[in-house]
Chain A
């Protein structure tokens, strides 16, 4: 695959050179595409080593606004129609300095058909979603998103204010619980998720990075998902997911951040009425 990739890249580069006029800046595709592809290859290698990643139209889809209203709060929807085959999902923002935004691993109580989260985006960039199937294969889908400045955008309040109530959580459910049928849930966590790239405009110091690095959601004794998080996840994280209620709840959420913060909350989940 590595050879195939470099071959493809080589072709893209030479095509690019052939097509792009000397003025360069007026050009459409090609050399930039090749550069973006090379960037993705570099990131993918740093995360997945030389594991093969196949493009897919069906196993995972990534949806984001083509032009984001707020680069610090870009809504992302990941759809995995063949959900029974999905073991986990990686989300990568190519041009963020820290590209590896999140890794979700699904447990037995998950319904991995859809995930939503909100992220920071630093520059016009491709974003990649990589699905890992139960047989250990990787499949990728991408989308180009126009947003910039998200990683360093200040929150517009003092750090103290941003940290007030840190670790508080809410969860909303939608739909009636029927045994074996998935229930959608929205988890909201109060946490500034400081990126470490945000400068306090008054003191001109950088607010230290403080972000949720591990999030575990379970239903009863069964894991729904585990997320490894990063500075690219927006402040006050909101994650939409689905689970399959079997037996009785509650839904438990455990979160930790990179500065040793630990929080646990329990929610009464809708349980199948019969």
Chain B
């Protein structure tokens, strides 16, 4: 159930993870199985090994998320937007499609740290609206495996006083292994925020 099982490591790093498991005693950090929680938000690279815990939040695997779905949690996807390469030929189709959990709200890169203060305020405002101001409503943050963004988003909500924060580290990949995904558009309120480079 929730919290009792560490998230499965990303599939393509599976072999590396097992190798690292054997070495875990010798290598205290920077391995997928031993990443300490930072005291606050993680300000390093967003992609990388993440902790298996988030103090004050519940860690979900796909089974636990499935069980939670009956309560209609607020699902917050902070996965970043596909970035169009500079100089991409104008005559070739560029059609990014963000696939995610049906019903989720997509706030691209809302897990970045630091966030511009106005964006951070908007993030809190959107979650407040989505939970109807109820800080005990279940909220799930996710992006992709080995993505600190959703860890940070969960951390922000825990610190804000949300009492039922859930972090789903397997992210869209964990979901699509069992269920259909749907193409999401960026949350309109989030899209309208002061223009920051969309990266």
Contacts and interface: CB of A to CB of B under 8 A. Distances in A.
A98 B87 contact: no
Contacts of B48: 201
B5 interface: no
Contacts of A32: 180-182
B179 A98 contact: no
B40 interface: no
Given A24-B102, A100-B93, A124-B99, A35 B83 contact: no
A70 B89 CA distance: 27
B193 interface: no
Nearest to B101: A25
B188 interface: no
Contacts of A266: none
A97 B75 CA distance: 24
Contacts of A3: none
A46 to B, nearest CB: 4
A99 B93 contact: yes
Interface string B158-185: 0000000000000011001101111100
Given A43-B95, A97-B95, A148-B173, A231 B85 contact: yes
B67 interface: no
Contact of B97 (A95, A199, A208): A95
A99 B172 CA distance: 20
A230 interface: yes
A208 B88 CA distance: 10
Contact of A197 (B85, B89, B102, B181): B85
B86 A208 contact: yes
A42 interface: yes
B116 interface: no
Given A24-B102, A42-B95, A123-B99, A149 B144 contact: yes
A39 B97 contact: yes
Nearest to B97: A95
Interface residues on B, range: 20 to 34
Contacts of A123: 97, 99, 172, 176, 181
A195 interface: yes
A195 B103 contact: no
A201 B45 contact: yes
A24 B66 CA distance: 12
A263 interface: no
A8 interface: no
Nearest to B15: A69
A71 interface: yes
Interface in B20-48: 45, 47-48
A133 B89 CA distance: 27
Contacts of B96: 97
Given A25-B103, A123-B99, A209 B86 contact: yes
Contact of A97 (B87, B97, B103): B97
Contacts of B101: 25
B83 A197 contact: yes
Contacts of B183: 35, 39
Nearest to B69: A25
Contacts of B89: 213, 258
Interface in A191-221: 195-197, 199, 201-202, 204, 206, 208-209, 213
Contacts of B85: 195-197, 206, 208-209, 231
A1 interface: no
Contacts of B102: 24-25
Contact of B88 (A27, A98, A149): A98
Contacts of B86: 196, 208-209
B181 A124 contact: yes
Contacts of A119: none
Interface string A75-101: 000000000000000000001011110
B82 interface: yes
Contacts of A43: 93, 95
Interface of B: 12, 45, 47-48, 69, 82-89, 92-97, 99, 101-103, 144, 172-173, 176-177, 179-183, 199
8 contacts: A31-B180, A39-B97, A95-B97, A97-B97, A152-B82, A197-B83, A204-B45, A206-B199
Pick the 8 closest A-B CB pairs, nearest first.
A196-B85, A209-B85, A97-B96, A32-B180, A97-B82, A46-B93, A201-B45, A124-B176
